Structures are given as C-alpha cells and as structure tokens.
Amino acid sequence: MLAAVPFHFTVVLAIASFLLQVVTAFIQRPADGSVLVVLRSDKVGTYQRYWGAVSGGVEQADRSLADRCRQEVRLDVHGQQV
C-alpha cells in the first residue's frame, strides 16, 4: 500500500534521458539505506507489471527535470495528482 510509505524518503539520484523523455528517481530511506521499488501498472506503455524505480515521462511544459521528478514522486508514492 503506497500510503504506508514513510514521508521521510529522499531522492538520491535522478536520471533523465531526453531521447526517451523519461525521468527516474531512486528513493532511499536514510535510516537504513533501503531503496523504494514500485510495481508498474498494467496501464503504462512499457514494462507492465515489472518492479522499478519511480519514473515518468518528461513533458514540454515541465519547468525542470527536478520538478518532474518531484511530481512523479508525489503521484507514485503519495498518490497525489499534481
């Protein structure tokens, strides 16, 4: 259940590929070093039902890659639509 994920996770690395227009955030819990993995939906375009990091497509209206990462974390981890 995503709502049970502690809020104190922090993004430790963000990767962007402008060819694929995707950002990926690796989120680590400082207390024990564990890394968050999420099960991809069967509604996404690639890698359905595979485990992975928080990721999402870069949109032309995004102000920055960091902003897009924050939006994906809010959506994937906290379930908040941005």
pLDDT digits over 19-74, tens only?
668 888 888 888 898 888 989 889 888 889 999 988 888 888 888 888 888 888 88
pLDDT digits over 4-26, tens only?
444 444 555 455 555 668 888 88
- Listed in sequence order, the residues at least 6 apart from 77 whose beta carbon sits closer than 8 Å to its beta carbon are 2, 5, 9, 27, 36, 38, 54
Sign of CA dihedral 38, 39, 42, 45: positive
